[in-house]
């Protein structure tokens, strides 16, 4: 599987789902949204984010001094609200003390920027990659549970390969200008066709390019 294969898959996905158009989001907002999305559905994470943003400005300054009870109440719908409130406030305090943090991230190459982000408490590889791709347009490929599953079935990873090996493989296979689009459309493919149980291979838009390793 090479770039041609990746391009064919991407073309099939955009032909079926349409192209992806997203405006850039502020890095701190993406970090908070990602914390809220842990162990819950997108819908609940979205509700929690909106609820939080109605009560607080989503900035390190506003959230660093917020009451844990009020943050937890605002994000309750996403579950684990006490843990998430603690993580949000801790992160906000660190970033409040480093006002140039996000500006500096923008100047670093991907590897250095990933290292700086993953040094923050509660920020793992996936979260760092989401921030770098969605807020800075840096060439990386966040991998969630859908992308792990779809990639295995498409023959892009074996069971032994973890996050980093698969990330490098996805970076090789898809065109650099399309990492964001490929990331979003593979998740959509996983949700709507390549489901954990009973994948809908007969109707799948990338069936012709997929070895179907199920």
- Asked if 105 touches ligand SF4 (CB under 6 A), the answer is no
- Asked if 206 touches ligand SF4 (CB under 6 A), the answer is yes
The answer to whether 168 is a known catalytic residue is: no
The single-letter DSSP state of residue 170 is H
Tokens 């993953």 sit at which residue?
A: 118
Least Å distance, CB 19 to ligand SF4, is: 20
Query: Which residue lies nearer to ligand SF4 by CB, 122 or 155?
Result: 155
Judge contact between 126 and 142, C-beta under 8 A.
yes
**CA dist., res. 205 & res. 182, Å (int):** 14
Instruction: Show the binding pattern over residues 133-172: x = contacts ligand SF4 (CB under 6 A), - = does not.
Output: -----------------x--xx------------------
Catalytic site residue from 26, 86, 96, 144: 144
**CA dist., res. 31 & res. 123, Å (int):** 8
Catalytic site residue from 84, 126, 129, 138: 126
From 34-42, 67-75, 81-89, 196-204, give the range in contact with ligand SF4 by CB under 6 A. 196-204
Judge contact between 190 and 18, C-beta under 8 A.
no
From 63-71, 111-119, 169-177, 193-201, give the range in contact with ligand SF4 by CB under 6 A. 193-201
Least Å distance, CB 192 to ligand SF4, is: 9
Query: Which residue lies nearer to ligand SF4 by CB, 12 or 123?
Result: 12
* Ramachandran category for residue 155: left, alpha or beta (phi over 0 → left; psi -120 to 50 → alpha): left
In order, the DSSP letters of 103-145 are HHHHHS-HHHHHHHHHTSTT--HHHHHHHHHHHH--S-----H
**CA dist., res. 133 & res. 27, Å (int):** 10
Least Å distance, CB 195 to ligand SF4, is: 8
Burial 54-64 (b: 16+ CB within 10 A, else e): eebebebeebb
Query: Which residue lies nearer to ligand SF4 by CB, 38 or 207?
Result: 207
- Asked if 191 touches ligand SF4 (CB under 6 A), the answer is no
Total residues interacting with ligand SF4, rule: CB under 6 A:
14
Cα 138–chain centre separation: 13
- Asked if 207 touches ligand SF4 (CB under 6 A), the answer is yes
* Residues designated as active site: 126, 144
The residues of the shown chain that bind ligand SF4, judged by CB under 6 A, are: 150, 153-154, 193-194, 199-201, 204, 206-207, 210, 212, 214
């Amino acid at each position: 599987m090479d770039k041609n294969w990746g391009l064919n898959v991407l073309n099939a996905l955009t032909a079926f789902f349409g192209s992806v158009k997203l405006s850039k989001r502020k890095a701190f907002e993406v970090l908070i949204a990602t914390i809220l999305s842990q162990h819950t559905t997108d819908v609940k994470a979205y509700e929690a984010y909106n609820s939080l943003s109605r009560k607080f400005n989503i900035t390190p300054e506003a959230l660093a001094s917020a009451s844990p009870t009020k943050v937890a109440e605002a994000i309750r719908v996403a579950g684990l609200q006490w843990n998430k409130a603690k993580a949000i406030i801790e992160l906000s305090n660190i970033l409040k003390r480093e006002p140039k943090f996000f500006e500096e991230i923008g100047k670093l190459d991907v590897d250095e920027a990933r290292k700086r982000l993953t040094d923050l408490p509660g920020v793992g590889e996936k979260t760092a990659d989401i921030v770098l791709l969605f807020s800075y347009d840096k060439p990386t490929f966040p991998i969630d549970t859908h992308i792990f599953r779809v990639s295995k079935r498409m023959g892009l990873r074996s069971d032994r390969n973890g996050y980093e090996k698969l990330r490098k493989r996805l970076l090789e296979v898809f065109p650099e200008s399309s990492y964001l689009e490929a990331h979003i459309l593979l998740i959509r493919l996983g949700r709507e066709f390549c489901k954990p149980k009973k994948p809908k291979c007969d109707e799948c838009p990338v069936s012709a390019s997929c070895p179907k390793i199920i």
